[in-house]
Amino acid sequence: MKNSSVTAVTFKNAIGWEPDGQWEDWWVEVRTGVHNARDLRSAMVTMAYALQLAPDSKMLCILVNTRITKVRLERELELFRTLANPFVAQRVRVATYTQKTGYFNCPEEIPAQTLEKMVQAHMGFVGQSAKGATQYTIMGILILDWLNHVGPQTTDALCQASGASYPTVAAALKQLEAEDAITKEADRRVSLRKFPMEQWRRWIGISSQHRKSAYFVDRSGQPRSPMDLARRLRDKVQREDIAVSGVMGAKFHYPLLDLSGDLRLDLTLHGSPTTNLDFVRALDPALDRTDDPREKPSLVIHFLTRPHAHFVTVDTGILWADPIECLTDLYEARLDYQADDMLRALIENRK
């Protein structure tokens, strides 16, 4: 049975750990880049911490394409069971997956298709971004954590949240540290010292060079309003991997935004640029994809390739992209004045 009082956000806020999915009483995390005993032990200890928050649950970590052998994994698990108390030992599980050998040590009760979906979803986001875009992703996660008072994070937690490798995250943190933008705790966890305004403006420029978006224009001559398209997204498409961003999303996070009307509908799709976009026809059959920058789009879809979307929802049933994605959309649309105003408000409200 699911423990409805505990969510992925509970773990994120308490210990900086964010699972990739849940099946009944199992919380599942998918990890890449774990090739040594130190990182394996860190994963097991983290799941032990998570059990303190959800004692009725079980924890599974799937190591994808790890170089840790089955013999070494079993040895480390046996050592962990010897040291941990019996309650924790029997509820923490580590499995492996490679395309060549398949799954090893997975709980039999979890359906294979469920595990496959979680693994493929995770792998679909890891390593897809160019270097500059990955730096922007790391910066965005640090800013979101800062705005939400999440607290210091480990480098490993930032790797999992961004889908970036350890060296890439470490390099980004080193640059921020050199610019006195982060605080490093005694245990090496890090957090933003303040909103990194100069770094943010620079990395916004970098991200605009790498960001992937799809543009659609209305060919009917009578385009639907952005609000009408958003309602059709909610009522007809009903997908959990698509959120409203852009001007509408910015107004959700900052109702005092100085814009009298919505210029277009911006959507954030949690997936890669190769994702099928046939759902656009359900929004409006008159929408036609274009690569001509001279045409004025009615719909723009931005692709979000980090492992976790951080979408939010309210009673209206519409999913909203996070405020940093919405800010980026405003800057991309050259609404710099409005974006700066929203940014100042977010910083002030955070205080």
Cα separation, 105 vs 95, whole angstroms: 5
236-256: buried (b, 16+ CB within 10 Å) or exposed (e) per residue?
Answer: eeeeeebbbbbbbbbbbbbee
DSSP string, 191-256: EESS--HHHHHHHHHHHHHH--EEEEEESSSSPPPHHHHHHHIIIII--TTEEE-HHHHHHHH-TT
pLDDT at residue 331, rounded to an integer? 87
- Structural domain boundaries in the chain: 8-125, 131-209, 212-350
Cα separation, 94 vs 40, whole angstroms: 9
Lowest mean pLDDT of 31-35, 99-103, 130-134, 165-169, name the range: 130-134
Is residue 131's pLDDT more than 50? Answer: no
pLDDT at residue 325, rounded to an integer? 92
Mean pLDDT rounded to a whole number for the chain:
85
Cα separation, 173 vs 182, whole angstroms: 8
The stretch 314-330 carries a mean pLDDT of: 88
For residue 301, what are its two tokens? Answer: 């879809």
Q: What is the separation, in whole angstroms, between the first and last Cα of the chain?
A: 39
The stretch 334-342 carries a mean pLDDT of: 90
The stretch 140-166 carries a mean pLDDT of: 85
For residue 22, what are its two tokens? Answer: 């849940």
pLDDT at residue 293, rounded to an integer? 67
Cα separation, 227 vs 244, whole angstroms: 10
pLDDT at residue 130, rounded to an integer? 43
CB 348 within 8 A of CB 341: no
The CATH fold of domain 131-209 = Arc Repressor Mutant, subunit A (1.10.10)
Is residue 125's pLDDT more than 60? Answer: no
